[in-house]
Structure 1
Amino acid sequence: MAQDYYALLGVSRDASAEELKKAYRKAARRLHPDVNDAPDAAEQFKEVSLAYEVLADPDKRAVYDRGGDPLSSGGMGGGFGQGGFNFDDIMDAFFGQGGASRGPKSRVQRGSDALLRVVVTLPEAAFGVTRELKVDTAIVCLLCNGSGASEGSEPVTCGTCHGHGEVQSVQRSLLGDIRTSRPCPTCRGFGTIIPDPCAECGGDGRVRARRTISVNIPGGVDDGNRIQLAGEGEVGTGGGPAGDLYVEVRVQRHEVFTRQGDQLACQIAVPMTAAALGTRIEIPTLESERPDLGDAPATVPIDIPSGTQSGETVTVRGQGVQRLRGSGRGDLTVQVIVETPSDLDDRQRELLAELASLRGEERPEPVVAHSHRHGVFGRIRDAFR
């Protein structure tokens, strides 16, 4: 024996049939001339194929193990040119199906999914809204009801593939005849052709049309969220089931409120005197921009404690955005910016000077704080973060 077939496949002499098949698949993928352009790839491929032909056949393997020639005329096999090799194993190594016929494909196919974007305001995103949207998609052709054929006609068997949906070709190689299958070019793999297509859809079974759908956008959606509407996408060919429609939400930027999740934030400016003495102010709510919500309050009171410093925040519970998953709402964080008075008249300057004198602040000593301590600017910085 000039060759050690077991060594060629990289298996032991007691390898099982499954181990032989796995080893051959691996070698065939690596050495096939279509994927390996090395000068000796074709010859190596032929050798491992020959090794597998012998070892995969129990009778030939027995002859080989006894030291005989399993491919001799008096032996067990016919060799490469005599039909003894199973080329399905090669096809199986590359395609996993052994060259088996797939059969005709159905004209009825599921339609594609569609994507539509809608822009909403922050109040609409916070509390939900219903929108009527115009959608351009494929719908079932009403003239042929999705069949693709004109009235009184129907699909007929393809004369090229005789209804199989695919045609086979034979190529001669060093290993013998290799059969390959591909979709029929006449019927495109359907196995039938439509001799008299529908005048409206041209045989596709669907047409483009604009329709109006109602989309319920739930409260709490955020920018970039998508809403799935099952069966509202493109109708498939041959009147097949429709895909899904995805509505992507884009939330407009608000002039007053910023949002992070279900939390809202805003800033208010108060005079120095109000911050020092404390006060109560009313700020508008998101509901004030949604008259359709009924008796929702248009404002919410904010208590500013005396001595409030610029950059400090006040939290109002339950005045944020409605939670998308769950109940209740987030909170509203109000950042207070203390305004220093300017353009003082003589009387105001006199009163402020008197206050400074009473507090011993005519010539205040600056207090230099470490960067890790939370002074006024640190609080403002942290609040913005």
Structure 2
Amino acid sequence: MAKRDYYEVLGVSKTASEDEIKKAYRKLAKKYHPDLNKSPDAEEKFKEINEAAEVLTDKDKRARYDQFGHAAFDQNSGFGGFGGFGGFEDIFSQMRSSTGGSSFFGDIFGDFFGSNSRSNSQRVTKGESIKVNIFLTFKELLFGAEKIIEAQLLTSCKTCDATGAKSKDDITKCSKCFGTGHVNIQRNLGMIQFQQSAVCPDCDGVGKIIKNKCKDCRGKGHYFAKQKIEVNIPKGVMPGQQIKMANKAHASLNGGPNGDVYIDLLLKESKVYEIINDYDLKMIWNVSYIDAILGNEITIKTLDGDVKVKLPKGISSKETIKISNKGLYKQVNRDKRGDLFIEINIAVPRNLSNKEKELIQALSENSNFEPKNIVE
């Protein structure tokens, strides 16, 4: 059967860059690798893809292929003596000799089979982070608060100092992987042989064997426990903001720092206040009709405490009074604030004594108490 054009095999144009060729190869190699694809023709396609990539990622071989085609590598053709392409054995010998190396194929198959995972498994990693919600009142937004949250967290065992062993003498290096946590497995692909790195089955990748396990953590070195975390909410925060508490979450499994706690600040529903204009607050305040008529001074309870306000004479319901600098903080821990808007609601009494009715009736006969309506 005639060989397919190498560019066609990889699905790239003849003007494709080396990066484009490598990208196409990665995609196809993952798709048709026999260990990942169980189709009957996967092995042949995989060989074809590797052959095409071996030529097109080498500048000299690609130049000869562009000029002479497949004949450039045919020992029986008139172009013999071009000493480069030795077939698939060359590809996989690169894999065997350079696992974790810098060659193109070594890097690709390192990604597939974890040939670089040995060093990765020994790398110290951070514990897992968590995210929690805290609901705050308007007063807590304004002035800050101390909160305590509880969470089930992975915790390092203090009894064994996270080793999992009853004592240090109970820890020995794994004899199968020599403490690396990984072993090499020989794999055969037809007549081709290569090595794959895998997690050591004897020590589960930790590189050590424990003779007598710690009773508290059962040899794991860690256990889940309910933890209380104190949270300091600074004054001037806003709903939707997030606070990060570093190294307060799950413990690391290999000696790294704990994960972080991310706290989303949410607003408790309020029957009194609402936020307007980003940093301003609005509330409704009931006023007696006598105070409204006479324009008396009244006391309004705010988040900052009692504030005395002089009402304009004859103020009506739905009118607003502004109290400056009594809204939310515009920046955390700063003094600049929004304003507080008071919407007035005239409270009309429902139950009156006979004397009160007589007085009001007498006042109603005065023209000043006659409401003015616009009819046109």
TM-score range, shorter chain: 0.7 to 0.9
Deviation at 1:336, TM superposition (A): 0.7
The residue number in structure 2 matching 1:293 is none
2:279 pairs with 1:268 = no
Paired residue type of 1:347: E
Paired residue type of 1:169: I
2:312 pairs with 1:311 = no
Structure 2 CA distance, aligned partners of 1:275 and 1:4? 93
Deviation at 1:270, TM superposition (A): 2.4
TM-score, structure 1 as length reference: 0.71
Paired residue type of 1:70: F
Assess if the C-alpha contact under 8 Å between 1:141 and 1:239 holds in 2.
no
The residue number in structure 1 matching 2:48 is 47
2:306 pairs with 1:285 = no
**C-alpha distance 252-355 of structure 1, shift in aligned 2 (>3 A):** same
Structure 1 CA distance, aligned partners of 2:18 and 2:239? 58
Structure 1 CA distance, aligned partners of 2:275 and 2:347? 25
The residue number in structure 2 matching 1:151 is 167
Assess if the C-alpha contact under 8 Å between 1:158 and 1:192 holds in 2.
yes
Structure 2 CA distance, aligned partners of 1:16 and 1:323? 53
Deviation at 1:214, TM superposition (A): 4.1
Deviation at 1:277, TM superposition (A): 3.5
**C-alpha distance 205-340 of structure 1, shift in aligned 2 (>3 A):** same
Q: 2:366 aligns with which of 328, 344, 355?
A: 355
Assess if the C-alpha contact under 8 Å between 2:21 and 2:57 holds in 1.
yes
TM-score, structure 2 as length reference: 0.73
Deviation at 1:212, TM superposition (A): 5.3
Deviation at 1:300, TM superposition (A): 0.5
Deviation at 1:337, TM superposition (A): 1.4
Say which SS state the counterpart of residue 297 (structure 2) adopts: strand
Say which SS state the counterpart of residue 115 (structure 2) adopts: coil
The residue number in structure 1 matching 2:339 is 331
Gaps of 5+ in 2: 96-103
Paired residue type of 1:305: P
**C-alpha distance 182-269 of structure 1, shift in aligned 2 (>3 A):** same
How many residue pairs align between the two structures? 353
The correspondence of residues 1-385 of structure 1 with structure 2, limited to 5 A, is: 3-9=4-10, 20-29=21-30, 32=33, 43-56=44-57, 65=67, 68=71, 70-72=73-75, 76=83, 77-80=85-88, 83-86=89-92, 88=95, 92-93=107-108, 96=111, 100-103=115-118, 105-106=121-122, 109-118=125-134, 120-131=136-147, 137-153=153-169, 155-173=171-189, 176-209=192-225, 214-223=230-239, 225-249=241-265, 251-259=267-275, 262-287=279-304, 298-325=305-332, 326-340=334-348, 345=354, 347-348=358-359, 350-356=361-367, 366-367=374-375
Structure 1 CA distance, aligned partners of 2:143 and 2:222? 38
Fraction of identical pairs, as percent: 33
Structure 2 CA distance, aligned partners of 1:311 and 1:144? 68
Say which SS state the counterpart of residue 140 (structure 2) adopts: helix
**C-alpha distance 148-247 of structure 1, shift in aligned 2 (>3 A):** same
Assess if the C-alpha contact under 8 Å between 1:137 and 1:234 holds in 2.
yes
Deviates more, 1:100-109 or 1:303-312: 100-109
Paired residue type of 1:159: S
Assess if the C-alpha contact under 8 Å between 1:218 and 1:324 holds in 2.
no
Structure 2 CA distance, aligned partners of 1:40 and 1:54? 22
Paired residue type of 2:283: C
Deviation at 1:317, TM superposition (A): 0.9
**C-alpha distance 300-359 of structure 1, shift in aligned 2 (>3 A):** closer
**C-alpha distance 331-46 of structure 1, shift in aligned 2 (>3 A):** same
**C-alpha distance 101-316 of structure 1, shift in aligned 2 (>3 A):** closer
Q: What is the aligned-residue RMSD (CA, Å)?
A: 4.1
Assess if the C-alpha contact under 8 Å between 1:92 and 1:98 holds in 2.
no
Paired residue type of 2:280: Q
